[in-house]
Chains A and B, each alone.
Chain A
Amino acid sequence: MATGLKLTLQRIWWRHQARHPALQALLREPIQQRPFNASRYVVIDLETTALQPTAGEIASIAWVVIEQGAIHLNQSCYFHLALNREVGQSAVFHQLTDTDLEQGVNIKVALEALLDALPNSILVFHNAQLDMGFINQAMRTLWGAPLLMPVVDTLQVERKRLLQRSAAIQAGDLRLFQCRQRYGLPDVSLHDALGDALATAELWLAMNG
């Protein structure tokens, strides 16, 4: 429980640093273990302009919500953010242009909407480290504290599962679409934040099916 204790202490510390009541409340929530069907999950995906939080920024953010074991699409959100720097290289991947992003919203608006969606939730990402790095950097800049909450990473879950089956993991095996295929989930061609969040959420359903 050493890591649990460390997390609790960190959360207490950051709660006092946080400058946003919703963020404070989230850091005050008790961390509970609940079965899948009784948990609320917010499955998030970001598009970013670089692979390092220090080198780029969030271009768009989307999330879908899982409650009682079902994805409720009517709680989905999808924000395109106004950028400070130019889109550069990653636009090729995400088919975003600078003009698209000029019309985006301020990151503060998007992250406040996210905070509103988060009470009593567990975060889900496919490759949490990358996306959480961007989110925490933004949270700390805006409100002085990171989003220290329970996180599920479907990439790590799948990695562990494959290792348990003592399968050798090849490059690319843990990509979202490769993971989905192993669960018999349909191919999806879309590659935007909302499509990927949804694809991750379906994967998480299948992992718990």
Chain B
Amino acid sequence: MTQDPKQPEIQAVADFLRHCLPFNELPEAALQAAARQIQITYFRNGHRFSADSDDYALRIVRSGAVEIRSSRHQLMDKLGEGESFNIHGLDVGDEGVYAQVIEDSLIYHLPRVHYEALRADHRHFDRHFHSQRSRRLRRAARYQPNTNMMMLPIAGLISRDPLTLSAAATLQQAAQAMSERRVSSVLVMQGNQLEGIVTDRDLRSRALALGLPLHTPIAQVMTRNPKHIELDASLFDAILQMTQQGIHHLPVLEGNRLAGIITSSDLMLARRDDPVYLVQHLSRQQDTGAMRAIIDTLPSLLVEVIKGGMRAHQISRVLTAISDTVTCRLIELAIEHLGPAPAPFCWLGFGSQARGEQLIGADQDNGLLIDDRAGELDLAWFEKLAHFVCDGLNECGYPYCNGKVMATTAEWRQRLQGWKATVDGWTRTPTPDAVMRVSIFFDLRAVYGDPGLCQRLQQHMLMRTQKNTIFQAALAANVLDQTPPLGIFRRFVVERNGEHRDEFDIKKRGVMPMVDLIRIHSLAHGVDAVNSRERLQQLMQKKVFTIVDGRNLQDAFDTIQQLRVENQSRQLAAGLQASNYLNPKDLPELERKHLKDAFTIVHDSQEALRNHYRQGL
């Protein structure tokens, strides 16, 4: 009660702002001051704000709802309680972007001077408004450090016990010590201080080549005050310094104290855990047990690489490469067992494996495509192959498919003729079951064997479906079944009870709707890529999507996948099973915002698709 009665704190307004992005980042005093500068206005449904007719200000929706639309009246965003817009900031380049009240709204209006003062004084606050929503999302998806293991500190890689000698030691003593320790350098110390370094190369070019006597003190050939690196530097820093200066040894200091040495071969060794090496390693294993042991390290690898900054699409590429390798290795082992194949064949991967978008915990989705030259009697061999591989995959940690989409099922193990007939049947009568099967089937990739077979089947399928709008409409209806878990006013819709209370399935409600949506557009326009990002690229090239829409979709996809793997990594790090359930409350506010933005884009794209196929639905 000590405050000035003529400058009261507007508690009701401050309490509200405190829960709004990015006001939540402001210190209390700035928040209170901002609350005092608010002007409150009320607008009826239908009112429009535009850069032409309204002043430059930040407008915050206190209650009601507002839509942001482009000059062509395309919906760009829906804003609910607590969300804000600056119509001048959204309408960069006078494109005619406008905001329309779609529900009677109380709008808090922060005049330009105060808005700009907050932006000037508070970096986080400012950053939020740098650009409009989709650009904000793009930054989130794309411009995060793409550093992989490179950002891990060198501390874990250095040799802590480097070979050291005093400056008085002779060339011969140095050479003997280096040979004994099997190292390629020696650090020259004066007490605790690093004085110089002598490397293999120095012994060669500065001593042997010049014919220096063996008892010459190493002080004469050492590099004085050598380049060094701090203990807290990253792997990236070390590699950069070595390549820039053309050196292979870097003493590591912690303050003034010598902590160790790092060499270019340490850096090579560091890559032992690199997933690329893992693939190589897997392809040499002789049985499922040994492979399983390697697969079991994947969860901890995932946690590591995410910490190191690897992006979701890179991770899923790697994990797909790994499951491909396991599959191929199992087929090779089967052939060793069963004898050579009686006819050419192709092992097919479906779903996320086909798309190159596998993550931890993926189950099997596979099939077997056999050349028509195979006779009835040959089919038994392929059945045995199918069981060997599918059982092996299960043992290696890729569980059997619940939907029986596996080469062990007769329907998913056929000669080309048979496959074609099956496809024809599905497309002629698009029952919900057939539609579901086909949508699995469109994501198809040759994992092992003759890719030509796979291509022929794929072409047949595209021929049957590309012009078949009835079928496409049935597929669209199936696709639109699952919607992003956003309710009205963009609140997350979570499970109300059960094991996953307050969570939602980010794969089912976020990833799959996008994959489905991108697939159906690809199908309708004869795009043959299977990976979702590649499909989007081709759809943009074919001008099915504008660059902006295509990028927005890609960023939304990347954002959702990224949050999904990060969620899995969090679960694994906490000792839980990786799952696709995510509690939005576990996310920092900005990521929650990004996720909402991404879901909004998914939702809008679904709307567009729904309109496109309206007649057929």
Binding site for B on A (CB under 8 A): 62, 69-74, 76-80, 100, 103-105, 110, 113, 183-186, 188, 190, 192, 194-195, 198-199, 201-202, 205-206, 208-209
Given contacts A79-B5, A80-B1, contact A194 B11 (CB under 8 A): yes
Task: Give the interface segment out of B39-47, B314-322, B348-356, B509-517.
Answer: B39-47
Closest CB pairs A-B (n = 3): A78-B8, A71-B40, A205-B42
Complex CA distance for A206 and B105, rounded to whole angstroms = 9
CA distance A190 to B35 in the complex (A): 16
| Contact of B10 with A206 in the complex, beta carbons under 8 Å | no
Known: A186-B62, A209-B104. A77 touches B6 (CB 8 A): yes
- Chain B residue nearest to A79 (CB atoms) is B5
Cross-interface CB contact of A105 among B5, B10, B43, cutoff 8 Å = B5
Contacts of B41 in A (CB 8 A): 69-71, 205
A selection of 23 A-B contacts at a CB cut-off of 8 Å is A69-B41, A71-B39, A71-B40, A71-B41, A73-B38, A74-B37, A76-B36, A77-B8, A78-B5, A103-B1, A113-B5, A184-B104, A185-B63, A185-B106, A186-B63, A192-B11, A195-B12, A202-B40, A205-B41, A205-B42, A205-B106, A208-B42, A209-B104
Could you tell me the distance in whole angstroms from the C-beta of A205 to the nearest C-beta in chain B?
4
Majority secondary structure of chain A interface residues (helix, strand, loop or mixed): mixed
Bound: A195/B15 CA distance, A: 11
Interchain CB contact under 8 A, A183 and B104? yes
Q: A104 — which chain B residues lie within 8 A by C-beta?
A: 1
In angstroms, Cα B81 to Cα A206, docked, is 17
CA distance A194 to B2 in the complex (A): 16
Q: Which residue of B lies closest to A104 (CB)?
A: B1
Which of chain B's residues have a CB closer than 8 A to the CB of A73?
10, 13, 35-40
Given A77-B6, A113-B6, A194-B8, do A202 and B106 touch, yes or no (CB 8 Å)? yes
Q: Shortest beta-carbon distance, B406 to chain A, in Å?
A: 54
Pair A77/B5 contact, Cβ less than 8 Å: yes
B109 at interface by CB-CB < 8 Å: yes
Q: Considering the complex, give the chain A residue whose CB is closest to the CB of B8.
A: A78
Interface of B, secondary structure class, is: mixed
B332 within 8 A of A: no
Indicate which residue in B10, B40, B64 contacts A194 across the interface (CB closer than 8 Å): B10
Q: Point out the residues of chain B lying under 8 angstroms from A76, CB to CB.
A: 8, 10, 36
Residues of B within 8 A of A78 (CB): 5, 8
- Whole-angstrom distance from the CB of B287 to the nearest CB of chain A? 65
- B103 interface residue, CB < 8 Å from A? yes
Residue of B nearest to A195 (CB): B12
Nearest opposing residue in chain B for A69, CB measure:
B41
Q: How far is the CA of A164 from the CA of B480 in the complex (A)?
A: 46
Contact B8 A186 (CB under 8 A): no
Contact with A along B23-41 (1 / 0, CB 8 A): 0000000000001111111
What residues of A have a CB within 8 angstroms of the CB of B37 in the complex?
A: 73-74
Name B114's closest neighbour in chain A (CB-CB): A74
| Bound-state Cα–Cα, A192 to B63, Å | 21
Beta-carbon nearest neighbor of A207 in chain B: B42
Contact, CB under 8 Å: A186 / B106: yes
In the complex, residue of chain B having the shortest beta-carbon distance to the beta carbon of A66? B40
Q: How far is the CA of A184 from the CA of B558 in the complex (A)?
A: 38
Additional A-B contacts beyond A104-B1, A205-B106, A209-B43 (14; CB < 8 A): A71-B41, A73-B37, A74-B36, A76-B8, A76-B36, A77-B6, A78-B8, A79-B5, A186-B106, A190-B11, A194-B11, A195-B12, A198-B10, A205-B40
Closest partner residue, chain A, to B39 (CB atom): A70
| Chain A min CB distance to B41 (Å) | 5
Q: Kindly provide the distance from the CB of B111 to the nearest chain A CB, expressed in whole angstroms.
A: 10
Q: Which residues of chain B have C-beta atoms less than 8 A from A72's C-beta?
A: 39
In the complex, what distance in Å separates the CA atom of A77 from the CA atom of B12? 14
Instruction: Decide: A184 near B63, CB < 8 A? Known: A70-B109, A73-B36.
Output: yes
Residues of chain B in range 589-607 having any CB-CB distance to chain A below 8 Å: none
Q: Given the known A-B contacts A76-B10, A183-B104, are A209 and B42 also in contact in the complex, defined by CB atoms under 8 Å?
A: yes
Q: Report the Cα distance A89→B62, complex, angstroms.
A: 34
Is the beta-carbon distance between A103 and B104 smaller than 8 angstroms? no
Distance (whole angstroms) from the CB of B520 to the closest CB of chain A: 39
The chain A residue with its CB closest to the CB of B5 is A79
Question: Closest CB-CB distance, A46 to chain B, in whole Å?
Answer: 14
Question: Which A residue's beta carbon lies closest to that of B15?
Answer: A190
Indicate if the CB atoms of A206 and B104 lie closer than 8 Å. Answer: yes
Q: How far apart sit A192 and B44, CA to CA, in the bound complex (Å)?
A: 28
Contact (Cβ within 8 A) B44 A209: yes
Query: Please, how many angstroms separate the alpha-carbon atoms of A68 and B366 in the complex?
Result: 68
Q: How far is the CA of A100 from the CA of B1 in the complex (A)?
A: 7
